[in-house]
Amino acid sequence: MIGRVLVLGGTGEARRLATALVADGVDVLTSLAGRVADPVLPPGEVRIGGFGGADGLVAWLRAHPVRAVVDATHPFAEVMTASAARAADVTGVPLLRLHRPGWTAQPGDDWRWVGSLEEAADAVAGFDSVFLTTGRQGLAAFAGLTAHCVVRSVDPPEPPLPARTTVVLERGPFTVEEELSLMREHRVDVVVTKDSGGHLTEAKLTAARELRLPVVLVRRPPLPPGVPTVATVEEALSWVRAQPG
């Protein structure tokens, strides 16, 4: 096996990268945060649970030397991405950020950009039925809404939640037809989401466009400076192949 690579995962890109690396004969360890009770596991070895911040990751890398680290976490995993950048700087381990592009508005889209979940909550305060697709971790920001809120997640969300909340427990990806059906069933008049990017979750944007619904989009947090970044799994695979070890 070729020298071990640590993939900070939890995304479809991370799973695809692990699959390609294993096929290359690379010893891959994928680390998952453990926020989903029954995650879809990639090939290769998997560890579940955080490292304990940047200092914890530094200690782990010193105890478990790796050839390289690829941060393929969610575009909004700001804390993990910052910890990876600091740990790589301290230990000298090569680090790459695999950061899929954000979405691009299409003709007919009514997108309203905000800088945070709190701003998103303010932006939808006057609507009647809100489809919240921002993930269950940040729902407290919307707890004060009086509108009917549809929350979809893989695992049950924890309070505080909006007073009038319908929880839909489903795992994507979803088709445009499924998104249209859900929005029509609950008479959704605004969609809230993060600029996650990627094809797996963009059907809701297409459905909102077809129904002429506004979409409140939360901007991505900035990336740490100085970390090489690529947009595709193929580019990440080429980078790993070029690392000595």
Residue 2 has a pLDDT of 61
Cα–Cα distance for residue pair 14/81, rounded to 1 Å:
14
pTM as predicted:
0.93
Q: Which one-letter DSSP state was computed for residue 136?
A: G
Distance of alpha carbon 166 from its chain centroid, rounded?
23
H or E segment and range at residue 112? strand 111-114
User: Residue 159 pLDDT more than 90?
Assistant: yes
Q: Which fold has domain 111-218?
A: Rossmann fold (3.40.50)
Cα–Cα distance for residue pair 142/149, rounded to 1 Å:
9
User: Residue 36 pLDDT more than 80?
Assistant: no
Select from 46, 55, 97 the least CA-distant residue to 75: 97
Q: Which CATH class is domain 2-101+221-242?
A: alpha beta
Select from 176, 183, 195 the least CA-distant residue to 130: 183
Q: CB under 8 Å to 33, separation ≥6 — which residues?
A: 10, 48, 49, 50, 73, 77, 80
Instruction: Spell out the domain ranges in the chain.
Output: 2-101+221-242, 111-218
Cα–Cα distance for residue pair 180/82, rounded to 1 Å:
37
Tell me the pLDDT tens digit for each residue of 73-120. 999 999 999 999 999 999 999 999 999 999 999 999 999 999 999 999
Asked if 2-101+221-242 and 111-218 have one fold, the answer is: yes
